Amino acid sequence: MNIKIEYCKKKINYKKINNLIKKIKYINPNYFDIYIQYNNTSKITLENNNIKNFYFKEFNGINCRYIKNKFIYSISSNNIDLDFIKNNIINCNNFLYNKKNKLYIKNNYLYEYNKSFNKNSNINNQYYIYIIKKIHKYIKKYNNNIENIKIDLINSKDKILIINNNKYITDTRPLIILKILIEININKKKSIGFSSIGLRSNIYDIENIIPNKNITYINKCINDSFEMAISNLYAKDAPSGRFPIVLSSGCPGVLLHEAIGHALEADFLNDKTSIFHNKLNEKVTSKICTIVDNGNFKKLNGYINIDDEGNIGKLNILIKNGILKKFMSDIYNSMLMNIEITGNGRRESYKNNIIPRMTNTYLLPGNSNPNEIINTIDYGIYAKNFTDGQVDISSGNFTFSTSLAFLIKNGKISHPLKRITLIGNNIDIMNKISMIGSDFEMDLGSSFCVKDNQYIPVSVGQPTIKIDKITVGGTK
């Protein structure tokens, strides 16, 4: 096995890899894998045309695990020392099971490695400064009421090598994150708005998304930030009670991600903490709903060539016409429950245990015109963006707060509303979806999902939808 991937300017010794594999196979595991990672990340912050922060950090590490008799054995180090792993693989029993059979993994790593940015690094700092100032100049011209601007530009690259029972596979994962925050001043009243984009793209391609005459990713980011700032400036108190609500296309898919997506991850099925654990092939949403998770939605935050077990990212139909069809699974949980491996085994880094995670999760479009959906409501809410939310996957109960919402009056969008809270139960609310728009859109934001303290890039999306009734906690 001739492995030529390069980490930290040092090639992995394939003879040592082969010796390590032989030692693991001697243990006779049901499954094993070796995960080697190199990451470098740079970040530059510009505030009011002044560079406030500029750093570069990198790390590399290795994780070796095997599964035997339904237990996971794992050892990791942020020094890619194959001899260290080989000599300790039999003793890597750093695992615990509690009475509920929930797995916990401890990670052994030798030291934390964090390299501050310096002029000798391989990052062209002048290029970053040129790009971020070009974006700042464009935003400044967008509207005369923009008083202050803050921009964060983050560029990350992961190089991954995965070796398991029968193959080895490599991947390089770029990620660009652009965050924009603006402050506007109108008649001495100030307000802020913010937005972001996250793309699986190379930093040297970012000039191609800086606007010219066409609407681009950055245009949308600026438009969304400005709309939020204006809306916050003129927002009025929101009503409380039970009302119909329209969720716009794109970003409100985060409600779907939290309320439905997590409950369809196989580890929650295994320990029976998910409200859906015994509902396979049963109706769980309105019959007009089809929900998928698709690792192959290119360029978006959640796009993956392979998951962190080397399985190809693919389209998984989770709920079809309201019927629960599939759970998202990694290799370990598929072994325990004899279910399909779906390409959803993900980890934040080599230090972390692999668990089932979403990629790009969204609701497929319907046939309704978005304007017609709004026209059906005499008095209700139109929500375009959310800030945060909480979901209890055992009961399905959730709360979500809006960052951009409007009152609907007599079938028309009226004034913006102050922050409101939506309260409901996932199965109940999903069965109250009565109309789905044809205007499907994926959110372009730099979304990160947190589970078991692991941060993973994901994307969400949906068309405009109507929910007949939902409990609204307003400010009146």
Tens of pLDDT, residue by residue over 245-294, are 999 999 999 999 988 999 999 999 888 899 999 999 999 999 999 999 99
In the structure, how many helices (H) and strands (E) does the chain have? Answer: 9, 27
Query: From residue 250, how far is each of 5, 257, 384, 437 by CA, in Å?
Result: 37, 12, 8, 12
Written as one string, the DSSP assignment of 38-62 is: EEEEEEEEEETTEEEEEEEEEEEEE
User: Could you tell me which residue, 282 or 199, shows the higher pLDDT?
Assistant: 282
Mode of pairing for the β-strands spanning 345-346 and 448-451:
unpaired
pLDDT at 430 over 70: yes
How far apart, in whole angstroms, are the C-alpha atoms of residue 396 and residue 259?
A: 7
Residue showing tokens 């390069």: 6
Please choose, from the candidates 309, 322, 290, the residue with its C-alpha nearest in 3D space to the C-alpha of residue 32.
309
Mean pLDDT of the chain: 86
Q: For residue 1, what pLDDT is reported?
A: 35
- AA identity, residue 434: S
Cβ-based burial of 466 (10 A; exposed 0-12, middle 13-18, buried ≥19): buried
Q: For residue 216, what pLDDT is reported?
A: 72
Mean of pLDDT values over 410-434: 95
Q: For residue 206, what pLDDT is reported?
A: 65
Quickly state the pLDDT bin for 339 (edges 50, 70, 90).
Answer: very high
pLDDT tens digit sequence for 102-148: 333 333 333 233 333 333 344 567 888 888 998 898 899 899 999 99
Please choose, from the candidates 43, 59, 173, the residue with its C-alpha nearest in 3D space to the C-alpha of residue 114.
59
How far apart, in whole angstroms, are the C-alpha atoms of residue 206 and residue 127?
A: 11
pTM for this one?
0.89
H-assigned helices in 338-378: 370-375
b (16+ CB within 10 A) / e for 434-460: bbbbebbbbbbbbbebebeebebbbbb
How far apart, in whole angstroms, are the C-alpha atoms of residue 321 and residue 289?
A: 5
pLDDT at 410 over 70: yes
Residue 113 and residue 146 in contact, taking contact as beta carbons nearer than 8 Å:
no
Q: For residue 113, what pLDDT is reported?
A: 31
Query: What domains sit in the chain, N to C, each tagged with a CATH number?
Result: 6-234 (3.30.2290.10), 241-473 (no CATH)
Any residues with CB less than 8 A from the CB of 32 and at least 6 apart, and which?
24, 25, 64, 65, 66, 67, 164, 165
H-assigned helices in 27-178: 82-88, 125-142
Among positive and negative, which fits the CA dihedral 118, 119, 121, 123? Answer: positive
Reduced to 3 states (helix: H, G, I; strand: E, B; else coil), residue 436 is strand
Q: For residue 299, what pLDDT is reported?
A: 81
Residue 61 and residue 109 in contact, taking contact as beta carbons nearer than 8 Å:
yes
Q: For residue 263, what pLDDT is reported?
A: 93
How far apart, in whole angstroms, are the C-alpha atoms of residue 311 and residue 164?
A: 11
pLDDT at 373 over 70: yes
pLDDT tens digit sequence for 125-134: 788 888 899 8
Any residues with CB less than 8 A from the CB of 124 and at least 6 apart, and which?
none
Six token digits for residue 218: 């950055």
